[in-house]
Chains A and B, each alone.
Chain A
Amino acid sequence: MERELKYVDMVEQPISMHPKKFALWLFMVTVVMVFAALTSAYIVRQSEGNWLEYDLPEIFYFTSGLVVASSIFLQWGYFSAKKDNLISLRVAISLAVVFGIAFLVGQWYSWVALVDREVFFVGNPAGSFLYVFTGLHALHLISGVIFLIVVLISTFKYKVHSQSMNTMEMATTYWHFLGGLWLYLFMFLLLNH
């Protein structure tokens, strides 16, 4: 009887996600839309011809590795937080931050590499698009790094533990999302340049 009651009258229950976490997902949707717009603009523009051909900086392979490693560290931190292992949680977040910053530095060197092969921000859109993709992604990644540092500080105030996983979950989701976004952009560039 109880079971029937639940499904007949109160047909739908509000979903159980925390509102802030849900809002983060919606924010990620907007970021997806920005990059969807930019990458489709890239394809549309490319199909019109007059397109500068150049080799992608090889450092992208290296930075992609860094961003994946950083995500793995943060996932480790997430599991540690779930087990209330605060020491390894702090180490994990710190490593994720360090690898995140290393990624940003690597992206900077990709610009240096581009300039070396005479692909500039001002010039053929083929090059300009690459600067916009990497630059805008880097801006988002900086916001992610700041988020991680905030979480790191709150671990020292004992605010992240197995009973209080909200911020940690949000940070992990956002960080994986940004890493995934980079991998998407890199794959996209490999396939469409």
Chain B
Amino acid sequence: MATASIANHDTAHDAHEHEHHDNFVTKYIFSTDHKMIGKQFLVTGIFWAVIGGFLSILFRLQLGFPDMSLEWLRPLLGGWIDETGKLDPTFYLALVTMHGTIMVFFVLTAGLSGTFSNFLIPLQIGARDMASGFMNMLSYWFFFLSSVIMFISLFIPTGPAGGGWVVYPPLSALEQAIPGSGMGMTLWLVAMTFFIASSLLGGINYITTVINLRTKGMSFSRLPLTIWAFFLTAVIGLLSFPVLFAAALLLVFDRSFGTSFYLSDIYIGGEALPNTGGSPVLYQHLFWFLGHPEVYIVLLPALGITSEIIATNSRKPIFGYKAMIISMLGITILSFIVWAHHMFVSGMNPFLGSIFMFLTLIIAVPSAVKVFNYLTTLWRGNLVFTPGMLFSIGLVSFFISGGLTGIFLGNSAIDIQLHDTYFVVAHFHLVMGSASFFGLMAGVYHWFPKMFGRMMDARLGYVHFWATFVGVYMVFFPMHYIGIAGFPRRYYSWTNFAFSDMYTDLNMFVSVAAIITFGAQFIFLFNFFYSMYRGRKASLNPWRSNTLEWTTPLHPEHGNWPGEIPAVYRWPYDYSKPGAEEDFIPQTVPLSETPESNLPHEQEQVKIELEIMKDEDEVLVPNESES
């Protein structure tokens, strides 16, 4: 039993040795410090978010103002604006593809999970660093390499990948299909391979760290819900990303070596291709086996962050801590057995469809439990409306409004009507896109003081929140109607058919709202970078929070705590405990110091705790002395 603690001390020792000879390169570039790696992920994620958002503005211009001359974009887009000043239709496809890829993988997976798992796991469980700092560094640099390749693909003459972010074959497998299936698709696959490697390296590290390197007293039942969420996210990633790798590998063979895993009986220009015996539905199965868990890879960290922020700023214990964990576990397991609800119209056996419909609808239960717990935590709390808190409440709002439409779409009978329409677009942008984005924003506002030792400006934060919150609903709510009217997603033009012609006004409205919402993000960007250097100096625990990260110095060095790692004596949600002097009791305060607020069963534990503390001077690791 003593091995773990010895390993713990080893890493601690290493950390101290490194601290002394950090130069610019090892501190800011090839850093092995989890805090710096987290910040690297964050800044790269923000860079991608700006690009991904900008791409969406480009295609919203086309959708909202189909007759507008885009001549003024020629300096930027060059040949993608044709002679008449219109956006090139194939480039439109590339835009939606890249918007999806960038937002799902580069912003909401790497930018969210990468940032906060790295930054918070060691700080909140009381570890010096990740299990392997080197692997962690490698994880970021694989992501960086993947980013560079994906970024280059935006500028090649045939354009980036254009087959939708799901890159279904045969469209993505045949170079002749569209320009985007040429070089752009190859670069997409290469970039995603590095991305998968990055995610796996990160995920292995997160799981190992949470299991092996918790500080004394930090049992699983005392972990903050953030850590539970990051842990389960990493587990999902570990099980699902290899499957995407397998799918991509077979696609690479089909594209570049002429195999027929996904291709069969295809005629181009009257000529038959040599490929026979492949099955495109096979790709869909493999892809969605990752694709659906990916939704929860994106969402769970945001939900974890929200749990923490809502509890802190409601000054109340999180309602149903155990229920939260069980529902996250439920979501984790269910996420692997619902993938075919993306494929109701793929020609799959309808009986199979019914099974997947049933399993899909079960996910509503843990999701509803979570929503209920958020609302009951907020109920009659002493709410403190920090920007982080507002974004968390915004997340809950999107999770409800987007989740309700999920119940419709999960039913195969309705999905056949709504499949691939703007209804789906509205659904997942609310429940997954915006909700996770709000979780990311909430996290940045909340942990900015820990990251940079300064506060972000709250007033700008409020403006940013309201503009974004109202903006998101303005953008995505009308899309439900457009979708119910039957308009399919990924189409270049609205005005060519009479049935969709009547929605031109609504689309114009959506596009204007999108531009305003995108514009509002620059308030955040200014606030973020300005506060990094000029913000008000933060106090050590600005939100009066219980978790361990607030016990570190203002600018923690590599190794996090200057002295010994603090031990943990209670769960992280002792807010407004009856009898206590303050309305929060940090996890590091022993029960024996708070007799006035202890509950009967905790009073029992005090005796045990005192014994341990007495032993502490004699034995190095008291609880492991015997086994």
Contacts and interface: CB of A to CB of B under 8 A. Distances in A.
20 contacts: A5-B611, A5-B623, A9-B605, A9-B623, A10-B219, A13-B4, A13-B623, A14-B5, A14-B214, A23-B135, A23-B204, A27-B204, A30-B204, A30-B241, A34-B243, A37-B286, A52-B277, A123-B259, A123-B260, A129-B261
Given A10-B219, A34-B246, A132-B253, A29 B608 contact: no
B258 A30 contact: no
A124 B209 CA distance: 45
Given A6-B623, A20-B132, A132-B250, A30 B605 contact: no
Given A22-B208, A41-B286, 5 more contacts: A9-B217, A10-B216, A26-B207, A41-B246, A52-B277
A58 interface: no
B211 interface: yes
A59 interface: no
Contacts of A10: 216-217, 219, 612, 623
A38 interface: yes
Contacts of B611: 1, 5
Interface of B: 1-5, 7-8, 131-132, 135, 200, 203-205, 207-209, 211-214, 216-217, 219-221, 238-243, 245-247, 249-250, 253, 257-261, 264, 276-279, 282, 285-286, 289, 605, 608-609, 611-612, 623-624, 626-627
A45 interface: yes
B290 to A, nearest CB: 9
A81 B106 CA distance: 46
A122 B257 contact: yes
B208 A45 contact: no
Chain A, interface size category, equals: 35 or more
Interface of A: 1-6, 8-20, 22-23, 26-27, 29-31, 33-34, 36-38, 41, 44-45, 48, 50-52, 121-126, 128-129, 132, 136
Nearest to B264: A50
A37 B283 CA distance: 11
**Chain B CB within 10 Å, residue with most, of A18, A122, A124, A125:** A125
Contacts of A22: 131, 207-208, 211-212
B405 to A, nearest CB: 30
Nearest to A136: B249
A37 B608 contact: no
B250 A19 contact: no
A13 to B, nearest CB: 6
B247 A37 contact: yes
A52 B243 CA distance: 25
Given A16-B3, A124-B277, A31 B219 contact: no
A15 B238 contact: no
B207 to A, nearest CB: 6
B4 A16 contact: yes
A27 B201 CA distance: 9
Nearest to A17: B212
B263 to A, nearest CB: 10
A34 B248 CA distance: 11
A18 B11 CA distance: 12
Contact of B277 (A5, A20, A125): A125
A29 B132 contact: no
Contacts of B279: 44-45, 48, 125
Contact of A45 (B204, B243, B282): B282
